[in-house]
Amino acid sequence: MVVKNICCLGAGYVGGPTCSVIAWKCPEIKVTVVDLSKERIAQWNSEKLPIYEPGLDDVVKACRGKNLFFSNDIKTAILDADLIFISVNTPTKTFGNGKGRAPDLKYVEGAARMIADIAQSNKIVVEKSTVPVRAAESILNILSANQRPGVSYQILSNPEFLAEGTAIDDLLHADRVLIGGEDSPEGRAAIEELCSVYEHWIPRKNILTTNTWSSELSKLAANAMLAQRISSINSLSAVCESTGADVSEVARAVGLDSRIGSKFLQASIGFGGSCFQKDILNLIYICESLNLLEVAAYWQQVIDMNEYQKSRFTAKVIESLFNTVSGKQVALLGFAFKKNTGDTRESPAIHVAKTLLDEGASINIYDPKVEKSQIIDDLTNPSICEFPEQVKSRVKIFEDAYSATAGTHAIVLCTEWDEFITYDYNRIYKGMMKPAFIFDGRKILNHEELIEIGFHVQTIGKKLSRPRSPRCWSSKPNI
């Protein structure tokens, strides 16, 4: 079989960009991305795509309507496909056995059942969503139990390693593509089919083929080890703040050791995003299920350190503001979990906002890409707040940073957006209450310059001096 027709179940952060790049690089393959959500598909077919990702608009424009289609007609897409990607969501369970740890596989199972109900010819079914080890077995069980006569399935694991904000570049220049499959003639043939898709732009030497379970576990392992580096440097940031060392200098010195390397050593307010925490919890759950309790406890520490970092940072904000933020106004710059995305899943900004609101502050939020409705949804989510009305009355969302910071007592920088570096902080300072505070949770600002202006500055992993000559201590902003 030569793959001519691909269907992708799930038009989210993984399915959308991945299949757009496949369509762009494989003009002779028809790629149809389907989703249960009518709204999401309408957005993919509109001028404003449902996700912000640098470079994505151009790729979609180049192939949409030619060999790339977004549709809710799941049945036709499955019937026509030779190869089906499952790119549905796998959130952490919020109920029942494995609550707070195990991934909720109901969407993966739903997708497998749809394929089983609809398919009338042989299919290669590819897990793209991050799943627990041996999930492929469950998918195969569902498909085999509902198999029509004459229809056969091959299940492959092909985890996606793209990071949000750099997804298109990551897809185009992947360090490696990983494909796991069954060690049988049919399994090897299916692996070859998927290899031939990627070989349109990825050199064969960068396509790694393994057994299914290694592939599934490698995805969890990669995310766990990346997150572990961040927790490690964040743990050292606390030591730096108490000793006078500077965590950026430490990270540079350590990262220049070629055995360690420099990436993912940027100390921060804590890691966020839909993957790191979820995948580590998934790994912990697997270890606990296998009675590998020491291993589970080891990985749990990576998450605990991240929680500690978020709480430590927010506690520092409150402590610096004379131990109370009740009735004060605080500006939050950035709400996305990292720059160049509008995604807020597990964003540390949510933790900061929640704590400040619990302590009685009013908050002004500005993020270049996150939709207002998303911020309100996040902060009024039942897991975050008990009284949504109270949140709505104390949270204001702004279209620019100058209006968001005007009249506030403090700025808390939660996301490392480039534009935050280029602002006129003299102008911002003038508009703020005095003393004016800046808490740089991403270590991106010029702290010396801010101190010179008169700001009280706090950051991660470095003790900073007080303002040299406070220019204005009146409690009113001079706008």
Which residues are identified as catalytic?
A: 275
Q: How far is the CB of 85 from ligand ADP (least distance, A)?
A: 11
Where does this chain touch ligand ADP (CB under 6 A) — which range of 34-42, 96-104, 229-237, 458-466? 34-42
Least distance in Å: CB of 247 to ligand ADP? 30
The helix (run of H) or strand (run of E) holding residue 113 is helix 106-118
Peptide bond into 27 cis (omega under 30): no
Kindly state whether residue 12 participates in binding ligand ADP, applying the rule CB under 6 A: yes
Cβ nearer to ligand ADP, comparing 111 with 191: 111
| Calpha distance 380→389 (Å, rounded) | 8
Q: Tell me the angle at which helices 293-320 and 276-289 cross, rounded to the nearest 10 degrees.
A: 150
Sign of torsion over alpha carbons 125, 129, 132, 133: positive
User: Which partner from the list ligand UDX, ligand ADP, none does 458 bind, CB cut-off 5 to 8 Å by kind?
Assistant: none
Q: Is 273 in the site for ligand UDX (CB under 6 A)?
A: yes
Query: Of 187 and 348, which has the nearer Cβ to ligand UDX?
Result: 348
Q: Any alpha helices (H) in 344-424, and if so which ranges?
A: 348-358, 372-380, 388-394, 401-405
Amino acid at 390: Q
φ, ψ (nearest 5 deg) of residue 335: -130, -15
Binding to ligand UDX by residue 241, rule CB under 6 A?
A: no
Note whether 156 and 113 are within 8 A (CB). Answer: no
Locus of tokens 């743990």: 235
**Which position among 337, 366, 425, 439 is part of the footprint of ligand UDX (CB under 6 A)?**
337
**From the list ligand UDX, ligand ADP, none, which binds 10 (C-beta under 5 to 8 Å, kind-based)?**
ligand ADP
Q: Which residue's CB comes closest to ligand ADP?
A: 12
Restricting to residues 115-174, name those near ligand ADP by CB under 6 A. Answer: 129
Using the structure block, give the residue that is written with the tokens 């002779």. 28
Which member of 157, 248, 274, 364 binds ligand ADP (CB under 6 A)? Answer: 274
Q: Which does 223 bind (CB under 5 to 8 A by kind): ligand ADP, ligand UDX, none?
A: ligand UDX
Considering only residues 72, 98, 161, 172, which one is a binding residue for ligand UDX as defined by CB under 6 A?
161
CB distance 395 to 332 below 8 Å: no
CB 405 within 8 A of CB 411: yes
Nearer to ligand ADP among residue 114 and residue 240 (C-beta): 114
What is the binding site for ligand UDX (CB under 6 A)?
Answer: 160-164, 223, 226, 230, 264-266, 268, 271-273, 275-276, 337-338
